[in-house]
């Protein structure tokens, strides 16, 4: 019953150990993924907190405006909407307030 989860945990453990032990992991990853893929994942990671904060509101708004269509389509549309709104929030609202913070409390480094 739990063989799938056990194999999943073992697999992620192997991947983690590989990342920690392998000396030339950066060159291997550069061969596997293009700059576009890496930059997209980096941008999503940078904006992840805003995406996390806004995703429930996006889901509520989506289902308030559009009746459920298909489980997978709804998931894809809500996720896309959340990513777009979260990224926009990061580069407008969050960046603005971080600028104010840095103005009054500059980084020591």
Q: Where are the domains of the chain?
A: 1-31, 33-109
pLDDT for 38 equals 85
**pLDDT reported for residue 19:** 87
Enumerate residues 6+ apart whose C-beta is below 8 A from 68. Answer: 74
CA dihedral sign of residues 57, 61, 85, 32: positive
Q: Where are the alpha helices (DSSP H) in 22-70?
A: 25-32, 35-46, 48-65
How does pLDDT run across 20-43, given as a tens digit for each residue? 998 888 888 888 888 889 888 888
In this predicted model, what pLDDT tens digit does every residue of 48-91 receive, in sequence order? 999 999 999 999 999 999 999 999 999 999 999 999 999 999 99
Q: Could you say which DSSP state residue 33 is in?
A: S
Q: Residue 53: which residues within 8 A CB-CB, separation 6 or more?
A: 86, 89
């Amino acid at each position: 019953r739990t063989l799938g989860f056990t194999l999943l945990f073992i697999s992620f453990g192997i991947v983690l150990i590989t990342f920690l032990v392998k000396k030339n992991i950066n060159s291997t990853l550069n061969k596997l993924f293009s700059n576009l893929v890496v930059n997209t994942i980096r941008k999503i990671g940078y904006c992840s907190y805003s995406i996390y904060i806004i995703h429930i509101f996006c889901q509520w708004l989506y289902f308030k405006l559009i009746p459920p269509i298909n489980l997978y389509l709804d998931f894809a549309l809500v996720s896309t909407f959340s990513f777009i709104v979260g990224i926009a929030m990061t580069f407008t609202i969050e960046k603005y307030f971080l600028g104010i913070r840095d103005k009054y409390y500059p980084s020591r480094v």
